[in-house]
Structure 1
Amino acid sequence: MNLRGIVSKSLGNLDQLRFLNISTNYLSGSLPQELFALQHLEVLDLSNSQLSGLVPEVINLPSIQVLNLANNALEGRQPILSKSRNLPEFIIRYNQFSSTVDAGICNNSPQTRVIDLSSNRFLGNLPIGLGNCQSLKYLFLDSNNLSGSLPDDLFKLSSLKLLDIHGNRFSGKLDKRMGNLSGLIYLAVSYNRFSGTIPDVLGGFANLQNFSAQGNDLEGQLLNSLSSCSTLEHLDLRNNLLNGTNNLNCTALPHLHFLDLGNNQLEASILDQLSFCRELKSLNLDGNRLGGQIPESFKNLQSLVYLSVSKSTLKNISKTLQILQQCQSLTMLLLGANFKSEEIPHDGIWGFRRPKLLSIPDSALSGAIPLWLKGCGKLEVLDLSRNHLTGIIAPWIGSFNNLFYLDLPNNSLTGEISKNLVQLIKLIVFDPLIKPNQQLETLTYELLHALPESIDLSNNRLSGQVWPEFGNFARLQILDLSWNNITGTIPTNSSLMLSLEILDLSHNDLSGMLHTTN
């Protein structure tokens, strides 16, 4: 449907109406009061429109079973359905409801299975009363301003399969009684103010697939009890204070595909154990205290697609690359801010064929752009910025048909900009972006396409001219050639760079003027 306009109050005259679904339209304005007095209405779905205004605080819909007001701009307090005795689904996410949460819905309708209050403006403590919804399976409270500790009766919800409270201001320790929620499949407590250690009760979650607790102040070691969650697929503990050794038994986690332990205080001993996580597809360890070297056993991670170990004080870039090139599925590799003042290797690297993203900035690496990169023909993003690289920009980089992000600033590169470089086809041709279907392909897609089309060669010692063919880069958004020794005139066809947002040619010896389209 493609309905527009307001919701007519004449709908209130349909006193026998049982089912009303006008979701996913372009309806606007406020909701008529008459709509909330239909005595026989069982399903009311007004989701995914542009509705606004106040919703009555008390709604008189005694027969209602599904109330879905999601994805609008509705305001007021949380609606109270005082006469409803059988409301399986109560969904008001993505609105502007405010004030405190009312748990009365569980007193009136203890058989409720879904409560979704996410992405509103609720604040204050979570009240006692939700524990009365003994059939509750899905509880979404994320992305509000809720605070304090979790109420005691929340831990009585033994039927709960999903609990999402991320993006609030809950504080204190994660309660050991969390273990009572043994039926959980999905548990998200991220981006709150929880502190202390992760309770050693997670081993009782026989069906847990996703546990996210990033962005808190959790400390201590990774618990061995996590290894008892044999169905675990996604574990995200990024941005905490975890430290010490690793007690995670990867051999007991055959389905673990996603592991993010970035920005903690973990040490090198974690690396050996993680090499047993043979089904890992995405691994983030950046911002830890790893030190040492990537172990030889990492070559066993044949399913690994994404690896980030940036800012981890690693050493021996040559050995690291020799090991990681044997990870045949590796597509995205981030190694920045490691290997301080080492030389980028030119020999012994032969196996990188699949990478779409290679990032090794901020490492003070010396040497020339290595020839083995020529074999990385699928590269879309190459970042070797802020090193001490010398020599020329290899002309064969221009043959990378998929390259759209080239970041080489703050090095000591010399020579002319190769005319081959202005043949990067991805920056010339507008092609439709094909969205992938698989989950990890979606992750790769989102990471790559969050970056702008960019060429940054600034702060080097490049000479020669700005080739007129730069004007063919119709997709280029950023071009920075500043702080070099480039001479000649500014190409007259620069106005053809229709997507250009940032152009910096300063601190060169260029003449002429920029040309713009009329």
Structure 2
Amino acid sequence: MYIPSSSLNWPSSGDCCLWEGITCDAIGYVTRLWLPSKGLSGTISPSIGNLTHLSHLNLSHNRLFGPLPITSFSSLIQLQILDLSYNGLIGEFPSTLLSNHIEMVNLSSNRLHWLIPSSYFQQAGNLMSFNVNNNAFTGPIPSSVWIDSSCSVRLLDLSYNDFSGQVPHGLGNCSKLTTFRAGFNNLSGPLPDDIYTATSLEEISLPVNSLSGTIGNGIVHLENLTVLELYSNNFTGMIPVDIGRLTKLKHLLLHINNLSGSLPPSMKNCTNLTTLNLRVNFFEGHLSAFNFSTRSKLKTLDLGNNNFTGILSASLYSCKSLTAVRLTGNGLEGQILPDIAALGSLSFLSLSSNNFTNLTGAIRSLMGLKNLSTLILTSNFKNEETTDDEHITFSSDGFQNLQVLGLGDCQLYGQLPAWLGNLRKLPVLDLSLNQISGSIPGWLLNFPSLFYLDLSSNLISGEVLKELSGLQALVSAEIFDEVDRSYLELPLFDSITNQLSNLPPAINLGNNRLGGSIPAEIGNLKFLHVLNLSRNNLSGNIPDEMSHLANLEMLDLSGNHLSGEIPASLKGLHFLSSFSIADNNLQGPIPSGGQFDTFPPSSFEGNPGLCGAILLKLSCLNHPPTTTGLVPMPISESSNEELGYGLIAGAVFGLIIGITGGALYPLPKLKFMQHSRYNRRRCR
């Protein structure tokens, strides 16, 4: 048999039964070919069909590609274990593999497609585990998997494919089934009632489909259930009133549906819960009336974007294991009291888009959370003053692990509070959509880890760009690589994983009162991806040194008083996907070639002195430069559900589109954790 190239040290001759990964029976027939993670590359030869006594075949986690030798599998009548997962195999499902001995099939993480014939399962009577996760299979889920009471399947994983239709009836016949996964497909319709009779089920995972209907109260009969994942569907109705009977339940994820009503009191009996995620639904009721005191094992609580009211529940502070809490987008009110310091393990806290008051008191209380890495208080403390508090300002041990601070869209007035100067390790700061005035203090510009700064839509004045050009994390490769970009407990964005490395290095100072010129030193920020200086009072020329920003993907200089010509060297910014110099006093020809051939006319409009084919003005001779300044118009303000809105969120969205081959558009008003219950984006 031909074996693809690999790092195996097989001799050219001798007894193959002594070779690595090969087991033979007493007669000398090969019974096991066990070569996972051996660096194999190439295709699987049809000669594998000659191993007619083979019972175990494992070629997983290699670099195999090409089609499966479908017809050769018909000779493997003794095969019990087949594992070809994590390769690059293509083609159809090997339906010729009809061995009645087959017990485990794992073809996950390949590129297989077409239909899985129902006849396969009728022949494989001893099949216990079937995993085709992460392929491109289409059509309905084969109903013959559980056509009668002889169903022996224990694990069925069909997730991350393109299966369509409904979840078929008959699942209740699989009395041994413990794991059923079919998430990230195109399934629709209700859950079949007989799913609630498969009493051995420990996991039901059907997220990101188009399933509808209600979650029947019959689910409480699945008393072995530990995982219930039905998020990102269209389920309606209430959580089953007797859900507390599922005492083994550890992970309950029902977020992004249309569920409503109050949380059933019986949930207090789900004492083994470690993850409870109900965000983006229509749940209601006073949160303070819900008893969290029995949730000693609860680590993640996400009730964001619902209709809960009242104050923070005192019983919540008894959940000592909590590491992440998101209550954003509800109607909570009152103050954040020092009692919250009881949550000593808390790393992620988002209380944005509520009605909390007393920012100074909240900061004093929250500084007691020594492990806090993400703090998002956006859209609270409306119209309060950013007064300094001596206890906060001179505290040396508060927020020492903070990585993300979001205080956007609070309409705070006053200057940047001095206590921010203590956050020397902070990588991400968002204070957008406030009324902060004055200049940016020098201590903020010297933060060694700061790579994401959003101060847009404030009243900040002065000439700060030269100082900003010294942000160490955007200048030095060594420091940039040392910035902690570890995983967060929950994702900041709807469409981005919970890792800071997915945030683009960015400076957003748009819609302020900054003056002066753009200094040549701006070219030092060679790790910067997003730069927004729009709608300020900047004047002078665009410095040629901007062409040194080799990683720049978005540049917005619109709505200023810039003059002179567009530097032709900007054509060398090969990653630049979004560019605007609209509404300035620029003149001369628009550079052609490179990325400039991809920008729309709107990127240049409002500069009467500019000419070029894109503006249908081929000559500059009859278009003298204008000397009339343009008054920047404020951008519209809208509420936020996480960090400030800014325009950087649009850039992040554009970055994702760019990766998939589309164009980058920086201006859509996307919000951190933005959700529309009727037009939801799905991350597939």
TM-score range (shorter-chain normalised) is over 0.9
Looking at structure 2, the residues matched to 196 and 57 of structure 1 have their Cα atoms a distance apart, in angstroms, of: 41
1:481 aligns to what? 533
| Pair 1:133–1:29, CA change in 2 (3 A) | same
1:291 partner amino acid: E
1:292 aligns to what? 334
Looking at structure 2, the residues matched to 313 and 175 of structure 1 have their Cα atoms a distance apart, in angstroms, of: 35
1:105 aligns to what? 145
Tell me the CA shift for residue 75 of structure 1: 1.7
1:266 aligns to what? 308
Tell me the CA shift for residue 282 of structure 1: 0.6
Looking at structure 1, the residues matched to 403 and 484 of structure 2 have their Cα atoms a distance apart, in angstroms, of: 15
1:378 partner amino acid: K
Looking at structure 2, the residues matched to 24 and 368 of structure 1 have their Cα atoms a distance apart, in angstroms, of: 56
1:62 aligns to what? 100
1:168 aligns to what? 209
**Residues 1:366 and 2:408 aligned together:** no
How many residue pairs were aligned?
Answer: 518
**Residues 1:149 and 2:196 aligned together:** no
> CA offsets per residue over residues 401-451 of structure 1, 9 Å max, x none?
110001011111111106432221111123586899997669699342221
Q: Map 1:386-425 to 2 at 5 A.
A: 386-417=433-464, 419-425=466-472
Contact 2:149/2:173, CA 8 A, preserved across alignment: no
TM-score after normalising by structure 1 = 0.93
Tell me the CA shift for residue 158 of structure 1: 2.0
> CA offsets per residue over residues 470-517 of structure 1, 9 Å max, x none?
212121001112222223443333222221111222323354543345
2:136 to 86, 92, 96: 96
2:187 partner amino acid: L
SS at match of 2:405: strand
Looking at structure 1, the residues matched to 481 and 449 of structure 2 have their Cα atoms a distance apart, in angstroms, of: 12
**Residues 1:469 and 2:511 aligned together:** no
Looking at structure 1, the residues matched to 211 and 535 of structure 2 have their Cα atoms a distance apart, in angstroms, of: 49
SS at match of 2:290: coil
2:516 partner amino acid: G
**Residues 1:494 and 2:546 aligned together:** yes
**Residues 1:36 and 2:83 aligned together:** no
**Residues 1:181 and 2:217 aligned together:** no
2:114 aligns to what? 76
Stretches of structure 1 lacking an aligned partner (at least 5 in a row): none
1:10 aligns to what? 47
1:473 partner amino acid: L
Contact 2:540/2:561, CA 8 A, preserved across alignment: no
2:88 to 50, 55, 58: 50
Tell me the CA shift for residue 117 of structure 1: 0.8
Select between 344-353 and 276-285 the one with higher mean Cα deviation: 344-353
Looking at structure 1, the residues matched to 61 and 482 of structure 2 have their Cα atoms a distance apart, in angstroms, of: 24
2:405 partner amino acid: L
> CA offsets per residue over residues 214-239 of structure 1, 9 Å max, x none?
01111111222222122111100001
Q: Map 1:496-511 to 2 at 5 A.
A: 496-506=548-558, 507-511=560-564
Looking at structure 2, the residues matched to 441 and 22 of structure 1 have their Cα atoms a distance apart, in angstroms, of: 35
> CA offsets per residue over residues 146-179 of structure 1, 9 Å max, x none?
2222223211222222110111222222111111
SS at match of 1:252: coil
Contact 1:178/1:201, CA 8 A, preserved across alignment: no
Looking at structure 2, the residues matched to 178 and 33 of structure 1 have their Cα atoms a distance apart, in angstroms, of: 40
> CA offsets per residue over residues 57-97 of structure 1, 9 Å max, x none?
56412221111111122122224233222212100111121
**Residues 1:221 and 2:262 aligned together:** yes
Looking at structure 2, the residues matched to 89 and 437 of structure 1 have their Cα atoms a distance apart, in angstroms, of: 37
1:202 aligns to what? 243
> CA offsets per residue over residues 255-294 of structure 1, 9 Å max, x none?
1110000000000245433233332111111111113333
Looking at structure 2, the residues matched to 153 and 435 of structure 1 have their Cα atoms a distance apart, in angstroms, of: 52
1:452 to 504, 507, 518: 504
SS at match of 1:267: strand
SS at match of 1:413: strand
SS at match of 2:476: coil
SS at match of 1:198: coil
Tell me the CA shift for residue 202 of structure 1: 2.4
Select between 369-378 and 321-330 the one with higher mean Cα deviation: 321-330
Looking at structure 1, the residues matched to 341 and 46 of structure 2 have their Cα atoms a distance apart, in angstroms, of: 66
Contact 2:300/2:322, CA 8 A, preserved across alignment: yes
TM-score after normalising by structure 2 = 0.72
Tell me the CA shift for residue 456 of structure 1: 1.0
Q: Map 1:370-385 to 2 at 5 A.
A: 370-385=417-432
Stretches of structure 2 lacking an aligned partner (at least 5 in a row): 1-37, 574-684
> CA offsets per residue over residues 22-49 of structure 1, 9 Å max, x none?
2223333322222331101111112122
2:350 aligns to what? 308
Contact 2:134/2:160, CA 8 A, preserved across alignment: yes
2:7 aligns to what? none
1:462 partner amino acid: L
1:241 to 255, 276, 282: 282
Contact 1:57/1:77, CA 8 A, preserved across alignment: no
Looking at structure 1, the residues matched to 201 and 485 of structure 2 have their Cα atoms a distance apart, in angstroms, of: 29
> CA offsets per residue over residues 374-423 of structure 1, 9 Å max, x none?
00111111111111110001111122111000101111111110643222
2:201 partner amino acid: L
Looking at structure 2, the residues matched to 280 and 476 of structure 1 have their Cα atoms a distance apart, in angstroms, of: 35
Question: Once the two structures are aligned, what percentage of the paired residues are identical?
Answer: 36
Looking at structure 2, the residues matched to 26 and 435 of structure 1 have their Cα atoms a distance apart, in angstroms, of: 33
Aligned CA RMSD, in angstroms, stands at 2.5
2:252 aligns to what? 211
| Pair 1:56–1:354, CA change in 2 (3 A) | closer
2:63 aligns to what? 26
**Residues 1:128 and 2:177 aligned together:** no
Select between 386-395 and 293-302 the one with higher mean Cα deviation: 293-302
Contact 2:70/2:95, CA 8 A, preserved across alignment: no
1:299 partner amino acid: A
2:249 partner amino acid: L
| Pair 1:108–1:4, CA change in 2 (3 A) | farther
SS at match of 1:99: strand
1:115 to 156, 173, 176: 156
Looking at structure 2, the residues matched to 437 and 203 of structure 1 have their Cα atoms a distance apart, in angstroms, of: 38
Contact 2:349/2:375, CA 8 A, preserved across alignment: yes
Select between 88-97 and 411-420 the one with higher mean Cα deviation: 411-420
**Structure number with bigger Rg:** 2
Contact 1:72/1:94, CA 8 A, preserved across alignment: yes
1:263 partner amino acid: N
| Pair 1:437–1:153, CA change in 2 (3 A) | farther
Contact 1:397/1:421, CA 8 A, preserved across alignment: no
**Residues 1:337 and 2:379 aligned together:** yes
SS at match of 1:177: helix
SS at match of 2:370: coil
Looking at structure 1, the residues matched to 377 and 517 of structure 2 have their Cα atoms a distance apart, in angstroms, of: 33
2:184 partner amino acid: S
1:509 partner amino acid: L
| Pair 1:167–1:250, CA change in 2 (3 A) | same
1:140 to 170, 181, 185: 181
SS at match of 1:475: coil
1:357 to 393, 404, 407: 404
SS at match of 1:222: coil
Select between 436-445 and 55-64 the one with higher mean Cα deviation: 436-445
